[in-house]
């Protein structure tokens, strides 16, 4: 069963809970603030883009979990006001997650998403990546474009994602660093594409050779130097009475897009 209820004034999904055979449910562009009432065991694709959801934790435990949504494969939840990934780790069989245009500053442990293959986190405020230290173990595509990642020490936390094939870090401050591409590919030689450009065997070999020859602590020292430079620029701007450059850390405003269930075009990475 297919149900498209986007661009209405729906406040909650509770009135639709009797639709036991629902497989595709589009509630985008409504006023849904809670996911507590979404309980459709056969649902495969759920779209909650551009609503008023601020948390996924739920009142009585995570509302989005494998017991309620045992068939869910794709979740789209772009353009809400969600500040934490807490509550997502119980969707064990989820394969694709669109979580762009929210208010995330970090990614909590999402290792419970053990079936996840594609993860879109574009245009949040993410600066730390601790949540990736233990997975997801099947992740192949990770889009972190337009966030606030500014330290090599954070990028290193992605090294454990050995199944990763595509990584998008463009429009993060780290992408403006000198030798950005060889450093990232030296850290993660398993990548087949970084940002818009595919890798080659020759490029990977050169990147690995470059990376292993870096002086010990070279990247950590560069992180510290960048932090001091940013602090100095901030102080100078404030003394001049202007706005602090780099507060948006290279994140460009991106117009909202209505996916209507369509997968993001990889050329739009």
Q: Which of 54-63, 81-90, 180-189 has the highest mean pLDDT?
A: 180-189
What pLDDT sits at residue 68? 80
Q: What is the mean pLDDT of residues 123-138?
A: 95
- 154-159 contacts at long range (C-beta below 8 A, 24 or more positions apart): 154/127, 154/128, 154/129, 155/129, 155/183, 155/184, 155/187, 156/187, 156/219, 157/129, 157/130, 157/132, 157/133, 158/129, 158/132, 158/187, 158/188, 159/187, 159/188
What pLDDT sits at residue 260? 41
The answer to whether residue 90 scores a pLDDT higher than 90 is no
Q: What is the mean pLDDT of residues 134-162?
A: 97
Q: What is the mean pLDDT of residues 184-207?
A: 98
What pLDDT sits at residue 186? 98
The answer to whether residue 267 scores a pLDDT higher than 60 is no
Look at the alpha carbons of 264, 105, 207, 230 in this order and tell me if their dihedral is positive or negative.
positive
The answer to whether residue 1 scores a pLDDT higher than 70 is no
The answer to whether residue 6 scores a pLDDT higher than 60 is no
More confident residue, 250 or 22: 22
The answer to whether residue 61 scores a pLDDT higher than 80 is no
The answer to whether residue 246 scores a pLDDT higher than 60 is no
More confident residue, 116 or 108: 116
Please state whether beta strands 166-168 and 141-143 pair in parallel, antiparallel, or not at all (unpaired). Answer: parallel
What pLDDT sits at residue 16? 58
Q: pTM for the whole thing? A: 0.84
What pLDDT sits at residue 65? 66
């Amino acid at each position: 069963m297919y149900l498209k209820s986007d661009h209405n004034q729906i406040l909650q999904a509770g009135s639709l809970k009797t639709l036991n055979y629902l497989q595709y449910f589009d509630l985008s562009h409504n006023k849904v603030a809670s996911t507590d009432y979404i309980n459709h065991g056969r649902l495969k694709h759920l779209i909650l883009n551009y609503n008023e959801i601020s948390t996924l934790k739920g009142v009585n435990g995570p509302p989005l979990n494998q017991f309620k949504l045992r068939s869910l494969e794709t979740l789209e939840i772009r353009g809400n006001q969600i500040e934490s990934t807490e509550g997502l780790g119980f969707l064990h069989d989820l394969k694709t997650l669109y979580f762009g245009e929210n208010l995330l500053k970090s990614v909590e442990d999402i290792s419970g998403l053990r079936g996840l293959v594609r993860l879109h986190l574009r245009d949040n405020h993410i600066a730390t990546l601790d949540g990736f230290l233990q997975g997801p173990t099947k992740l192949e595509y990770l889009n972190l474009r337009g966030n606030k990642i500014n330290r090599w020490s954070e990028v290193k936390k992605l090294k454990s994602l050995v199944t990763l094939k595509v990584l998008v870090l463009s429009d993060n401050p780290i992408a403006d660093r000198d030798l950005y591409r060889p450093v990232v590919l030296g850290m993660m030689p398993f990548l087949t594409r970084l940002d818009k450009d595919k890798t080659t065997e020759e490029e990977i070999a050169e990147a690995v050779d470059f990376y292993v020859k870096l002086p010990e602590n070279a990247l950590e020292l560069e992180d510290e130097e960048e932090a001091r430079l940013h602090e100095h620029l901030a102080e100078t701007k404030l003394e001049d009475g202007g706005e602090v450059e780099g507060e948006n850390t290279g994140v460009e405003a991106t117009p909202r897009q209505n996916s209507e269930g369509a997968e993001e075009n990889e050329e739009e990475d």
